[in-house]
């Protein structure tokens, strides 16, 4: 799974930190998940390869599927413990137009509400699976 995030957005970086505290250690490896700033060189290439032209805040590439908006957030449950998978299943019960409208509303306001991150606070556990200026992983 490759998770492309807005590397300057405090909410997006916070999502990576939140995931890093909840993803089981055996899944927090480059073989299972990689976080990539969408505006990085590799992120730009990945987005172009899958045809995403309007990158906003989170895109998930997983098993040949491109997940955007509300589906991207729900796809992250694949690497989380069971209780989060159950919550995501409930979220999938909400009609996609409603999920996506909520996602777009938050995405539109996230910088005003949460601000930008000038310095990346990602801890070393998550940085090991983060590519780009905010992480340690070298492009595979």
What is the distance between the alpha carbons of residues 1 and 131, in angstroms, rounded to a whole number? Answer: 13
pLDDT in tens, 59-96: 999 999 999 999 999 999 999 999 999 999 999 999 99
Output the average pLDDT for the chain: 84
Residue found by looking up tokens 């990602």 in the block: 122
Residue 13 pLDDT level (bands cut at 50, 70, 90): confident
pLDDT-derived band at 123 (thresholds 50, 70, 90) equals low
d(CA 140, CA 46): 12
Residue scoring higher pLDDT (60 or 8): 60
Beta bridge partners of 94: none
User: pTM here?
Assistant: 0.85
CA distance 50 to 127: 24
Q: Which two tokens stand for residue 30?
A: 């480059």
**Domain layout of the chain by residue ranges:** 2-123
């Amino acid at each position: 799974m490759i998770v492309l995030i807005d590397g300057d957005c405090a909410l997006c970086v916070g999502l990576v930190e939140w995931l890093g505290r909840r993803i089981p250690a055996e899944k927090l490896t480059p073989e299972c998940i990689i976080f990539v700033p969408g505006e990085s060189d590799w992120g730009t290439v990945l987005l172009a390869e899958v045809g995403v032209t309007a990158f906003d805040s989170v895109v998930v590439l997983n098993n040949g599927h491109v997940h955007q908006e509300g589906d991207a957030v729900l796809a992250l449950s694949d690497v989380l413990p069971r209780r989060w998978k159950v919550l995501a299943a409930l979220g999938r019960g909400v009609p996609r137009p409603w999920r996506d409208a909520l996602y777009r509303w938050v995405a539109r306001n996230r910088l005003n509400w949460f601000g930008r991150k000038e310095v990346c606070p990602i801890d070393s556990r998550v940085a090991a699976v983060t590519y780009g200026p905010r992480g340690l992983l070298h492009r595979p």
